[in-house]
Amino acid sequence: MIRLKNVSKLYAPDIVGVKNVNLHIRPGEFVSIVGQSGTGKTTLIKMLIAEEKPTSGSIQIGGWEISHIGPHDIPLLRRQIGVVFQDFKLLPRKTVGENVSFALEVSGVSARRIEEVVPHVLRIVNLAGTENRYPHQLSGGQQQRVVIARALVHRPKIIVADEPTGNLDSINTREVVEIFRKINDFGTTVVMVTHNREIVNLLRKRVVTIHGGEIVADHEEGKYLI
């Protein structure tokens, strides 16, 4: 599903994003990528969604080589990868339903199809009936679940989440992680960058640890040890 071969990202001769990373994530896996701040976790995520290009090496998504992907192909890639960031990035003047449907509208999806998809993804994230509410009327955890719903509208094969619980309290954190677990149970590959030791240890899923831009540990059912 995801394969990185000898991937490095250099921002300057003496600034290393990631260095010689080799990583294979199989279809349907749930992988937590952990490490201290500034170790290269976010750089890795940005390369997976083609926001950054590697300096060297190969990145494949579902057999598609994206290391030097052209700008016209990036929208197609992004439909295969749902992205969830720590910053909710919801449109404040649009309702929940409008925020979720916006991702479909810009892709030219019909209104009839949008009417089917939006309630469905909101049910998945336990927000059925909130279509007409605005972001400011929701808790932080609910807003993050709207973001997850928006990431699901294209039925992506992969969900990439960069510190998705960073702005949440412990209760909302657990709720959001359970949503990711449910999505993974549907067969979607989940790659989650996090620094939350408790959540990683509770998940008991594969843990990849990055330090100094390099993978220093990879445990199939691991704990956050650093």
What was the pLDDT predicted at 130? 95
**Cα–Cα distance, 25 to 2 (Å, whole number):** 5
What was the pLDDT predicted at 222? 62
Place of tokens 């969900």: 159
| Closest C-alpha among 5, 8, 21 to residue 61 | 5
The tokens for 171 are: 């209760």
Question: What percent of the chain shows pLDDT beyond 90?
Answer: 72
Pairing of strands 15-25, 2-12: antiparallel
Q: Of 54-58, 100-104, 133-137, 165-169, which gets the smallest average pLDDT?
A: 165-169
**Cα–Cα distance, 39 to 161 (Å, whole number):** 17
pLDDT, tens digit (0-9, with 9 covering 90-100), for 122-164: 999 999 999 999 999 999 999 999 999 999 999 999 999 999 9
pLDDT, tens digit (0-9, with 9 covering 90-100), for 15-26: 899 999 999 999
Report the chain's mean pLDDT, rounded to a whole number: 91
Model confidence band, residue 209 (pLDDT cutoffs 50, 70, 90): very high
What was the pLDDT predicted at 223? 59
pLDDT at 224 over 80: no
What was the pLDDT predicted at 26? 96
**Cα–Cα distance, 107 to 59 (Å, whole number):** 25
pLDDT, tens digit (0-9, with 9 covering 90-100), for 65-108: 999 899 999 988 988 999 998 887 899 999 999 999 998 998 88
Please count the CA atoms within 13 angstroms of the CA of 75 that sit on its side-chain side: 6
| Closest C-alpha among 147, 144, 145, 153 to residue 127 | 145
CATH code for the domain defined by 2-219: 3.40.50.300
